[in-house]
């Protein structure tokens, strides 16, 4: 991917989202692989502004894995490929002891030395920080970042997830003026599917409804924010969007016969869908979704028509056409970088969305919406990125 040529009134921006939870579960094998692949892509793209949104920072066992997070940041910042990014702002929500605030989100922003004008918004004073174009410094906020005013962070209300003791899901927002263009960059992590069996009962599933509720809650919060105003925004992270599982199962099991296997404790219920010769073609359990042709079947074009979670929000969130295979759940084994796990129906969980008003600042149609690390193990989620060129857009305030 060739980087677009920058001129006096435009900026080459690179947006990246990655769920890195599994990296910190197996840092010895996966962290350096991930960093090498990511840095290689940055070396080719050579953006002027890089936004990297991470979810599940520290992994599921964050109490044990958080020690690797600082090493990850150090390796990233000190890499030769990042040498021309002289202004850095990093927000790492790591205070896992604060259940009421902890989101495990990390938002990292790297600004190239050639950027002429840069400002970051203060959500406490509702004004711009001083011009940063002459500031060659690293601002790394980690641990408890509740008082850092240049970001807005919020967990979703607990009643959104009544089946959970507590949830880390939420969002983090920053606002930037880059060479005169004002944009919000929002890191988000939505709730997952807890059971395949429940997910395939109907569409929208109970999990889909919960995700939609949290997403609408977030967009409405921005729209009603009179103190900070409303500007074009990019919303990118792990949305945990799943395919219409009910529709997928119907598509896969036409002419097959279901056979339910029930555990005595009702904990390991499964449904085997068998063909006329008695062979299992599809097995669906709480945490199992396995097809006889699992590694090829879900990389075919037919699956895309079941990616439907965004349909009700198509007027308020837009997305470039998806021309890549589902980003989740990949095997976490470096020897199997292109294989899917048989735990969930593969889906496009990781997305880069935007408000319709972003069209006003797009300079070029030469975009690439796709993966980083197609042939390398990047954890259970593949990394998504969009490089884009944006024209100068100096109207900082506007009600959309």
Residue-wise DSSP of 55-80: ESTT-TTHHHHTHHHHHHHHHHHHSG
Per-residue pLDDT, 210: 92
174 phi/psi in degrees, rounded to 5: -130, 155
**Helix H or strand E segment including 154:** strand 152-155
For 84, the enclosing helix (H) or strand (E) is none
Exposed, middle or buried, 192 (CB in 10 Å: 0-12/13-18/19+)? middle
Average pLDDT over residues 48-74: 89
Ranges of H-type helices in the chain: 21-25, 27-45, 62-65, 67-78, 196-199, 206-223, 245-252, 294-297
Average pLDDT over residues 122-133: 85
Distance CA 178, CA 173 (A): 16
The CATH number of domain 10-242+303-391, selected from 3.30.9.10, 3.60.10.10, 1.10.10.10, 3.40.50.10860: 3.60.10.10
273-288 burial, b at 16+ Cβ within 10 Å, e below that, comes to: bbeeeeeebbbbbbeb
Q: Of the ranges 64-73, 198-207, 358-367, which one carries the lowest mean pLDDT score?
A: 358-367
Distance separating alpha carbons of residues 68 and 212, to the nearest angstrom: 33
Query: Looking at the predicted structure, is the pLDDT value of residue 220 above 60?
Result: yes
**Residues sharing a CB contact under 8 Å with residue 116, sequence separation 6 or more, in sequence order:** 133, 179
> Please, what is the Cα angle at 26 between 14 and 270, to 5 degrees?
100
* 38 vs 368, more confident: 38
Tokens read off for 31: 């962290």
pLDDT at 166: 63
More confident residue, 266 or 12: 12
Q: In whole angstroms, how far apart are CA 206 and each of 201, 210, 267?
A: 9, 6, 19
Query: What percent of the chain is modeled with pLDDT above 90?
Result: 74
pTM for the full predicted model = 0.93
144-158, 200-214, 351-365, range with the lowest pLDDT: 351-365
Output the pLDDT for position 380.
96
pLDDT value, residue 337: 96
Q: Give the model's confidence band at 258: pLDDT under 50 very low, under 70 low, under 90 confident, else very high.
A: very high
Lowest mean pLDDT among 107-111, 136-140, 186-190, 298-302: 136-140
The predicted pLDDT at position 238 comes to 98
Predicted pLDDT at 389 = 64
Q: Please provide the size of the chain in residues.
A: 400
The string of pLDDT tens digits covering residues 297-318 is 999 999 999 999 999 999 999 9
Supply the angle between the helices 67-78 and 27-45 in degrees, to the nearest 10.
30
Q: What is the pLDDT of residue 158?
A: 75
Two tokens, residue 201: 């009962």
The ranges assigned to domains in the chain are 10-242+303-391
φ, ψ of residue 43 in degrees (nearest 5): -60, -35
Q: What is the mean pLDDT of the chain?
A: 89
Q: What does DSSP assign to residue 365? A: S
- Lowest mean pLDDT segment, chosen from 116-130, 156-170, 304-318, 332-346: 156-170
d(CA 135, CA 198): 52
Q: Give yes or no for residue 391 having a pLDDT over 50.
A: yes
Q: How much is the average pLDDT of 223-239? A: 95
pLDDT tier at 135 (50, 70, 90 boundaries)?
A: low
pLDDT score at 379: 95
pLDDT of residue 266: 58
DSSP 367: -
Q: Three-state SS for 175? A: strand
Tell me what the mean pLDDT of segment 237-260 comes to. Answer: 96
**Using the 8-state DSSP alphabet, how is residue 187 labeled?**
E
28 three-state secondary structure: helix
């Amino acid at each position: 991917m060739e980087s677009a040529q920058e001129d006096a009134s435009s900026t080459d921006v690179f947006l990246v989202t990655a769920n890195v939870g599994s990296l910190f579960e197996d840092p010895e094998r996966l962290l350096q692989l991930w960093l090498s692949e990511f840095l290689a892509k940055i070396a080719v793209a050579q953006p002027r502004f890089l936004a990297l949104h991470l979810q599940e920072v520290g992994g599921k066992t964050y109490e044990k894995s958080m020690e690797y997070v600082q090493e990850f940041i150090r390796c990233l910042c000190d890499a030769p490929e990042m040498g021309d990014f002289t202004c850095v702002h990093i927000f790492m929500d790591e205070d896992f002891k604060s259940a009421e605030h902890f989101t495990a989100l990390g938002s990292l922003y790297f600004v190239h030395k050639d950027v002429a004008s840069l400002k970051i918004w203060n959500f406490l004073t509702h004004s711009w920080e001083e011009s940063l174009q002459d500031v060659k410094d690293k601002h790394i906020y980690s641990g408890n970042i509740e008082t850092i005013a240049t970001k807005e962070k919020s967990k979703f209300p607990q009643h959104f997830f009544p089946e959970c003791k507590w949830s880390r899901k939420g969002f983090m927002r920053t606002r930037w003026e880059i060479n005169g263009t004002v944009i919000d960059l929002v890191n988000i992590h939505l709730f997952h599917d807890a059971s395949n069996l429940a997910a395939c009962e109907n569409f929208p599933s109970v999990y889909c409804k919960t995700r939609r509720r949290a997403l609408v809650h977030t967009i409405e919060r921005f729209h009603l924010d009179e103190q900070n105003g409303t500007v074009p925004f990019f919303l990118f992270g792990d949305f945990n969007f799943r395919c219409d599982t009910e529709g997928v199962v119907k598509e896969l099991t036409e002419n097959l016969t279901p056979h339910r296997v029930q555990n005595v404790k009702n904990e390991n219920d499964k449904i085997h869908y068998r063909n006329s010769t008695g062979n299992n073609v599809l097995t669906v359990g709480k945490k199992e979704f396995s097809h006889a042709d699992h590694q090829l079947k879900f990389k075919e074009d037919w699956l895309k028509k079941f990616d439907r979670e965004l349909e009700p929000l198509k007027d308020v969130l837009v997305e470039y056409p998806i021309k890549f295979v589902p980003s989740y759940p990949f095997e976490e084994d470096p020897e199997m970088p292109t294989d899917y796990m048989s735990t969930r129906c593969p889906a496009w969980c990781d997305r880069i969305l935007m408000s319709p008003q972003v069209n006003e600042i797009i300079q070029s149609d030469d975009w690439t919406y796709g993966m980083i690390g197609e042939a390398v193990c990047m954890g259970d989620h593949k990394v998504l990125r969009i490089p884009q060129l944006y024209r100068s857009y100096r109207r900082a305030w506007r009600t959309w």
